[in-house]
Amino acid sequence: MSTTAPTHDRTGTREVREAVVVRFAGDSGDGMQLTGSQFTLETALAGLDLTTFPDYPAEIRAPVGTTFGVSAFQIHFGSVDVKTAGDEIDVLVAMNPAALKVNLGNLRLGGIIVADSGSFGDRNLAKAGYDANPLEDNTLAPYQVIRLDVTQLTMNAVESFGLSKKEALRCRNMWALGLMLWMYDRDRTATTSWLAKKFASRETLAQANIAAINAGHAYGETAELSGNLTGYRVADADLPPGEYRTISGTEALVWGLVSGLRSAGIPRLVFGSYPITPASPVLHSLATMRDLGVITFQAEDEIAAVCSAIGASYGGALGVTSSSGPGIALKTEAIGLAVSAELPLIILNMQRAGPSTGLPTKTEQSDLFQAVYGRNGDTPVAVLAAATSTDCFEVGREAVRLATKYMTPVILLSDGYLANAAEPWLLPDLDGLETWPVRFHTDPEGFEPFRRDPVTLARPWAVPGTPGLMHRIGGIEKQDGTGHISYDPDNHQTMTDVRAAKIAGIADDVPPQAVALGEDTGRLAVVGWGSTFGPINKGVERARAKGQAVSHVHLRYLNPFPANLGTLLGNFERILVPEMNNGQLVTMLRSTFLVPAEPLTKVTGQPFKISEIEAAIDAALESQP
Amino acid sequence: MTTSTLPLAPKDFASDQEVRWCPGCGDYAILKALQKTLADLEARPESTVFVSGIGCSSRFPYYMSTYGFHTIHGRAPAIATGLKLANPDLDVWVITGDGDGFSIGGNHLLHVLRRNVDLQIVLFNNEIYGLTKGQVSPTSRVGTKSPTSPRGSVAHPLNPVAVALGAGARFVGRAIDIDQKRLIGVLTAAQQHRGASFVEIFQNCVVYNDNVFADFTDRATATDTQLHVEHGKPMRYGADGNRGLRIKPGTLQLESIVVGADGITDDDVLVHDQTDKTLAGLLGALKPPEFPEVLGVLYDNPAESYESQIVPKETADQHTPLNDLIRAGRTWSVT
């Protein structure tokens, strides 16, 4: 179904905003993720640019009303280019005291708080650690506070449907959504039709939820007339023409893999995986794609997951596995087998905060060393990272291309933020994309399992079932060419060298490193990788607007680095490397290129703010190298 | 060999690689038996794959002229599962040992059996770690002295048949390495069983655990210590063929009986039913000297295999328009 952006004829009466950050926050049972998703849908359909940031606790149902049970969904939308989920919150919708307490620190001074006063009773206040009701003292004096008894207003709105009290209270989020849709002049149709479908088997619930939305919306209209509330207008964004949908990093990655599979001409993808936060949604998505040649296998553990993918690649399918840091650690030995046996394999790592179990639902970029170096022996693999949700599509395709062309494992680094964050995607023509058909080896004449392509150094992909090519491979060192077991010292040197050369050679098969923003020479290069793209790009943009000679370089290829990267970095006086880890890429750049790269690290489980990048640029330019 | 013109002889299933097991190792006999099994079955080398883990037994694939993958310790069942998902038409054999299969790879063995992936899992049980020089294994008997148990091991061994049945195996067979004829019979039945089949082979390690199975493999006493079951036949054994098994009256246990003694007749001897899982469990638990070691096909009761329910019969249509699929749901146009 395709819809065009609704046009609004509301002239002059609303205050205009260029971009706004709204954060819906409540208990993990309050439906904040659904509320945020629907607000996102209506915003996207209206033609605005946007980025979302679902931020939820690891506990599925934490004790009601506690600070650690707060679930939030942040959306940054605007008529201008939106690249991050927003530094500061403009509007905080707080469904209970805990939600207010946890999120207040990120609300800009003068920002709006919409608080459900009906949930600010003594019990909830105590659970949130408030001695006094912040809605009734001076705590919130620096902000505009809209106190509404959303609880009671929702009960009134759904009264006629005969719901239980529990069911009626579950409509609170829709009432709040209705109010916010009014506040930003959004349509309600997509949400109401979604509700009708979601509750198709319980029509009363659908009607009650729709009534709650309409009541919230109507409340806004009435209050505006009486001057108690202000509505805003955010104009359409100046997006390039074409057809759009919103897409999360996970969804984009899945489509990238499927599209890559098609480009490689391989009939089957076998996805072996084990549930882990925040990677499980990849398994959920691929599980619905059997008709496209995708077989999913929920393995008994992380090791079986990667091993099933290796077995599948050995059998002529594309083997893919996914996990997050702790699970990747368990797969390590098997990845070494795929390096030794020289089989295609894609390993997706949705990074999360570590070490050990760490913070499962919070984002981090601290598995770069693990990806590049974290195996026994000299065991090189290709490592790629996605920069944005939509970039996950391109990187997913690239992983397929490299894995099959070079007969190698490819580790694709995403993270918890990218996996969940959504943005508008200018839909590509998938039929018009480049293809790189795989040729399975079939000719017995002169066949040797480790006789290499002279250019790529890849060995032939000869799969069981092919007459005349029967051979044995394994993790023991193999004689170059024949693949027979070999303990010959010189051969081991040769094979170690050739495995390294094969991966290093990929550098000549990828685009030269481009500059994302700015000139290819200057005083400062800000070099990033992965999901820090948005804040770095906006930070550099602001610095450049101030006249600073700063450029943004963002790496997709982390092993090997693009061939020109050393030269490019040499063109800058200083290099700043913001990372959500304790300084990993910066160490790699320093050791590889002997450049004086400096770290900017953050491991709070939250993405960088633009202002943090901007401040670090100022500091770097003000200080002497 | 580059072509496979049938019929093939057992030697046609041997690779050109030098076999490197210790002289006298039971693995040689198993290798010969499997090569003959494949020849007898008229197997096609290009459609046959041996997947192994790590250990003495896991060198096996190198010595076969089929496809082979010598993988990592304990993981062969998982790799073989992926292989079957990629190509269900392949005939895949997993070669493992008591350490590889029940210790480091125990989890995978449980799950491949539970899922019923169409594989033959052949476990060489020598009750010891051979390749790492003689440490106790999960099947070592209590009191086994080894470099890691100098005063004798104290942990109880697991019973491979009981574990396999417990995990949901639908084929369980047992044979002795050097009893080629019967070993081939069990391997053949395993290959012809659709779904996961589990075969335990008592394999003698001449270096680290020599003669550990002598209590029932010794030829001089074998007739009294081995019971070879056949579906539908009375379970009789003994030098005179007059011993047998029956359910001990009033219990859920088997007892050894002598036909002709105490009024016991032929009719008292229990008939083997290979589809009876409870019986298979009872048979698998019997140990000499009180009972014979029960050999042959203990359990064979097929059900639909995992991959046949997961992998579509037809390969996916490469022309399903992806453009339509990515546009399913809410889209909007910017002009």
- Grouping H, G, I as helix, E, B as strand and the rest as coil, residue A68 is helix
Confidence bin at A230 (pLDDT 50/70/90): confident
Q: Could you say which DSSP state residue B171 is in? A: E
Query: What is the per-residue pLDDT for B283?
Result: 98
The total of other beta-carbon atoms located within 10 Å of residue B20's CB is 11
Average pLDDT over residues A53-74: 90
What one-letter code names the amino acid at A356?
S
What one-letter code names the amino acid at B312?
P
Q: For A262, which of B82, B322, B327 is closest by C-beta distance?
A: B322
Contact (CB<8Å) B333/A244: yes
Note the Cα B174 to chain centre separation in Å. 7
Average pLDDT over residues A138-164: 95
Contact (CB<8Å) B87/A44: no
- Grouping H, G, I as helix, E, B as strand and the rest as coil, residue A579 is strand
DSSP alpha helix (H) spans, chain B: 26-40, 76-86, 98-99, 106-115, 160-167, 180-192, 214-217, 222-225, 277-284, 306-310, 322-326
Residue numbers in B near A300 (CB within 8 A): 78, 107-108, 110-111
Note the Cα B256 to chain centre separation in Å. 26
Confidence bin at A15 (pLDDT 50/70/90): confident
How does pLDDT run across A31-53, given as a tens digit for each residue? 999 999 999 999 999 989 999 99
Lowest mean pLDDT among A205-219, A221-235, A261-275, B19-33: A221-235
First to last CA, chain B: 64
Note the Cα A473 to chain centre separation in Å. 37
Strands A422-426 and A242-248: antiparallel
Q: Tokens 């963002």 identify what position?
A: A554
Give ipTM to 2 decimals: 0.97
Residue numbers in A near B2 (CB within 8 A): 444, 468
Dihedral angle of Cα A214, A216, A219, A220, to the nearest 10 degrees? -110
Contact (CB<8Å) A315/B321: no
Chain A nearest-CA residue for B2: A468
Chain B nearest-CA residue for A470: B67
What are the φ/ψ torsions at residue A436 (nearest 5 degrees)?
-145, 70
d(C-alpha A548, C-alpha A621), whole Å? 8
Instruction: Return the HEC string of A394-441.
Output: HHHHHHHHHHHHHCCEEEEEEEHHHHHCEEEEECCCHHHCCCCCCCCC
Residue A490 near chain B (CB below 8 Å): no
Q: Which of B13, B35, B79, B309 to substitute to test the interface with A, most A CBs within 10 Å? A: B79
Q: Which of B35, B310, B319, B331 to substitute to test the interface with A, most A CBs within 10 Å? A: B331
A 229-288 → B contacts, CB under 8 A:
239-246, 255, 258-259, 262, 265, 267-268, 270, 272
Whether pLDDT at A10 is above 50: no
d(C-alpha A298, C-alpha A315), whole Å? 19
How does pLDDT run across A67-121, given as a tens digit for each residue? 999 999 999 999 988 999 999 999 999 999 999 999 999 999 999 999 999 999 9
Contact (CB<8Å) B330/A334: no
Query: What is the per-residue pLDDT for A625?
Result: 58
Q: For A268, which of B66, B69, B316 is closest by C-beta distance?
A: B316
Crossing angle for the helix pair A32-45 and A189-198, to the nearest 10 degrees: 140
Express as a percent the part of chain A with pLDDT over 70: 98
Residue A1 near chain B (CB below 8 Å): yes
Express as a percent the part of chain A with pLDDT over 90: 92
Query: What is the per-residue pLDDT for A13?
Result: 67
Contact (CB<8Å) B323/A431: yes
pLDDT beneath 50: ranges in chain B: 1-2, 4
Of residues B138, B180, B135, the one with CA closest to residue B160: B138
Residue numbers in A near B329 (CB within 8 A): 1, 245
Chain B nearest-CA residue for A486: B17
**Residues A387, A554: contact at Cβ < 8 Å?**
yes
Strands (E), A79-121: 89-94, 107-116
Whether pLDDT at A9 is above 50: no
Q: For A244, which of B81, B325, B332 is closest by C-beta distance?
A: B332
Residue A625 near chain B (CB below 8 Å): no
What one-letter code names the amino acid at A452?
R
Classify burial at B49, counting beta carbons within 10 Å of its beta carbon; exposed 0-12, middle 13-18, buried 19 or more.
Answer: buried
Q: For B107, which of A301, A464, A474 is closest by C-beta distance?
A: A301
Q: Which of A1, A266, A300, A345 to substitute to test the interface with B, most B CBs within 10 Å? A: A300
Contact (CB<8Å) A474/B334: no
A 307-346 → B contacts, CB under 8 A:
307-317, 319, 333-334, 336-337, 341
Query: What is the per-residue pLDDT for A228?
Result: 78
| pTM, 2 dp | 0.94
Confidence bin at A8 (pLDDT 50/70/90): very low
- Joined together, the tokens standing for residue A491 give 């051969």
Q: Could you say which DSSP state residue B72 is in? A: S
**Residues B58, B21: contact at Cβ < 8 Å?**
no
Query: What is the per-residue pLDDT for A226?
Result: 79
Residue A547 near chain B (CB below 8 Å): no
What one-letter code names the amino acid at A113?
I
Contact (CB<8Å) A485/B17: yes
- Joined together, the tokens standing for residue A373 give 């170096």
Please name every residue paired with A481 in a beta bridge, in sequence order, or none if there are none: A450
